[in-house]
Amino acid sequence: MIDKVNLLPNYHVLHDSEWPMLMLGKNVLGDYLIASFLEETEDLGQLNYFHVFANDSILLAFLKGEIAYLDVMKQAEAIFLVAKSYNYTVLNVEKIAFADLSKDMLPLKSSFFPKSIPSVFLDLEKRISLNKMMAEHPKKQLTKEHGQQIPAFH
């Protein structure tokens, strides 16, 4: 489960502060996910993050500034609460439903992406257009790389 939820090391920090606030990357299955900083628990020496799996169109809409991060979480396929040590080693993973999140754990309504879209995310756009083409022309075969789906988490 940790492998499916964790970011591969080549993730991008979209917004940085003392600790990375927003990261975009892929898991071992090639699915995009966003990791967002929730809190630091100094007594335990832990950083708590949300790892959020959403479909490509939603992620792209967020990166383009069309929707807030709160909306990404609302529409997410899966949300995980991930406890990490200060060196980002994953200590614990817990799947959590959006409806079970307390109000003070949620991003604000105005949590829009603070920067312009980096070129690396053009890959997302490519995937979306390929998926659209697949839907319109189902007989066309797409490679595995192009057709990744969000995995089922149990």
Partner 1 sequence: MDNCKKQLILSILKTNVANDIKYFLHKMNFTNIQNDTPSHCNCLEKATVTLDKQFARHIYKPNVRPQDFYSKWEKWQNNNAFPLDFDYNDCKRVCGNKGISVHNWENASKEIIINEYLNNFKITGKAQNSVLIFRLRQNAGAVVYTPQSTNAYHYDFYKDDDFSLDSIDDLEIISLKNYLEEDEQNDR
Q: Does 15 bind partner 1 (CB under 8 A)?
A: yes
Stretch that binds partner 1, among 11-19, 74-82, 122-130, 141-149 (CB under 8 A): 11-19
Q: Can you read off the two tokens belonging to residue 10? A: 């080549």
- Kindly state the helix (H) or strand (E) to which residue 51 belongs, with its residue range: strand 46-53
The contact pattern for partner 1, residues 110-139, with x = CB under 8 A and - = no contact, is xxx-x-------------------------
Side-chain-side CA neighbours of 55 within 13 Å: the count stands at 8
CB of 145 to partner 1, least distance (A): 27
Q: DSSP letter at 56?
A: H
CB atoms within 10 A of CB 31: 19
CB of 153 to partner 1, least distance (A): 23
Nearer to partner 1, 6 or 36 (CB): 36
Q: Rounded to an integer, what distance in angstroms lies between the CA atom of residue 148 and that of residue 124?
A: 11
Burial of 141 (0-12, 13-18, 19+ CB in 10 A): exposed
Alpha helices in 18-90 (DSSP H): 56-63, 69-74
The contact pattern for partner 1, residues 68-107, with x = CB under 8 A and - = no contact, is -x---------------xxxxx-------------xxxxx
Amino acid identity for residue 145 in this structure: E
Q: Please give the size of the binding site for partner 1, defined by CB under 8 A.
A: 30
CB of 53 to partner 1, least distance (A): 17
The footprint of partner 1 (CB under 8 A) covers 9, 15, 17-18, 21-22, 36-40, 42, 45, 69, 85-89, 103-112, 114
